[in-house]
């Protein structure tokens, strides 16, 4: 299965995906960010069958956002944090 993410709503709509910020649970209120914890069944279910990650307009994505995405995928896939993006092909 392939998950499609993009940094902007227009780019996400063009690839039939969602925004990276929406997936990460980022909101305008920084106090309500998505928490990452081991055993998060919803997170594990979202990534269980994902083998490929397509990020449209990658040049618009900052390193901090990529690092956060990496941490979430590694937690969801139960992989070593040294394995980039939990072994998902980007």
| Helical ranges in 1-90 per DSSP H | 9-14, 20-24, 41-47, 63-77
Query: In this predicted structure, what is the pLDDT of residue 57?
Result: 94
User: Within its chain, how far is the Cα of 25 from the centroid?
Assistant: 10
Query: In this predicted structure, what is the pLDDT of residue 27?
Result: 63
Query: In which residue are the tokens 């944090």 written?
Result: 81
- The model scores a pTM over 0.85: no
Instruction: Walk along the chain (90 residues) and give the pLDDT tens digit of each residue.
Output: 999 999 999 999 999 999 998 888 766 666 555 566 667 788 888 888 999 999 999 999 999 999 999 998 998 888 898 999 999 999
Cα–Cα–Cα angle for 47, 52, 71, rounded to 5 degrees = 50
What residue segments make up the domains of the chain, in order of their start? 2-87
Both structure tokens of 42: 């919803």
């Amino acid at each position: 299965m392939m998950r499609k993410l993009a940094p902007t709503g227009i780019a996400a709509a063009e690839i039939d995906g969602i925004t990276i910020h929406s997936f990460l649970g980022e909101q305008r209120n920084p106090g309500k960010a998505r928490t990452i914890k081991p055993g998060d069944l919803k997170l594990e279910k979202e990534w269980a069958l994902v083998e490929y990650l397509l990020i449209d307009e990658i040049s618009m994505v900052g390193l901090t956002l990529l690092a956060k995405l990496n941490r979430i995928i590694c937690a969801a896939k139960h992989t070593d944090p040294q394995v980039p993006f939990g072994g998902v092909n980007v």
